[in-house]
Structure 1
Amino acid sequence: MTTTPANKTTLVMGASEEPTRFANRAQIQLQQHGIPVVLVSPKYKTINGVTVKQSLNEVSESIDTVTVYVRPEILESSLNAIIHLAPRRLIFNPGTESNELQKRLINSDIEVINDCTLVMLSENRY
């Protein structure tokens, strides 16, 4: 396990309590790497002992990275709120990519990465 400063806080968009879901695995792996997480999902109150924000409007923490586990159609409706949070980067996990949304994020000075958070963590590229 590596120690990561709090300024690496990662928002998990589409958090899930289901152990088979990649968002759940990402939450656990991020925490095991010492990375603080903020979970966003309208479906849950807590996941693995972490309080879940029902929407991005509830997020007050400084966010370094947003890792996406929702379809582009869902992300699009939240894009302005993400841009307002001004994360350093956003990771489109496989199946969540959108060229149109990527352009809007890049135009807002947010780095866009098309990759898998779990693979990035396992290869020390996070």
Structure 2
Amino acid sequence: MANKKTLVLGASENTSRYGNIALRRLRANGHEVVAIGRREGQVGDVVIHKSKPDEEGIDTVTMYMNEQNQKEYEDYILSLKPKRIIFNPGAENYTLAHKAEQQGVQTIEACTLVMLSTGQY
């Protein structure tokens, strides 16, 4: 399986949060992870940033923030030119999805955890 550099938006140190579970599952599957959350922290070898780190080569953005909290990150996400954005349940954002699709970015309403466990990631 190819390493898909993934930005987890809504990462958390709280082990019961889906952003944390996804981050750990992505790492366990050998994917490089960039993490952004509401608070700085660290999960395993991944630092959670509060800022918008300067990154290149992002394949996938997986969203664990609701639409309201995504607003400040929309331009940043589009500037990364990801191949796809996964809108996990509760993170649907039709405005951002439309903007992304206009730039040739694939958008998916799905669960990253299910995609990983079924080999669809």
Q: TM-score surpassing 0.5?
A: yes
SS in 2 for 1:73: helix
Percent of residue pairs identical: 36
Choose from 13, 16, 34 the match for 2:30. 34
Q: 2: distance between equivalents of 1:55 and 1:93?
A: 21
* Structure 1: stretches of 5+ with no match in the other structure: none
Normalising by structure 2, what TM-score? 0.93
After TM superposition, the runs of 4+ consecutive aligned structure 1 residues lying more than 3 A away are none
Q: 2: distance between equivalents of 1:14 and 1:59?
A: 17
* Structure 2: stretches of 5+ with no match in the other structure: none
CA contact (8 A) 1:9 1:63 kept: yes
Residue 84 of structure 1 is matched in structure 2 by 79
> 115-124 or 42-51: which moved more?
42-51
Deviations 1:36-75 (A, max 9, x none): 101112402322232222222x232320000000010111
Q: 2: distance between equivalents of 1:76 and 1:45?
A: 22
CA contact (8 A) 1:42 1:55 kept: no
Evaluate the alpha carbon distance shift between residue 13 and residue 79 of structure 1 in structure 2; reply closer, same or farther with a 3 A threshold. same
Greater share of residues in helix: 1
Q: Does 1:71 align with 2:69?
A: no
RMSD between superposed Cα atoms in Å: 1.3
Q: Does 1:103 align with 2:94?
A: no
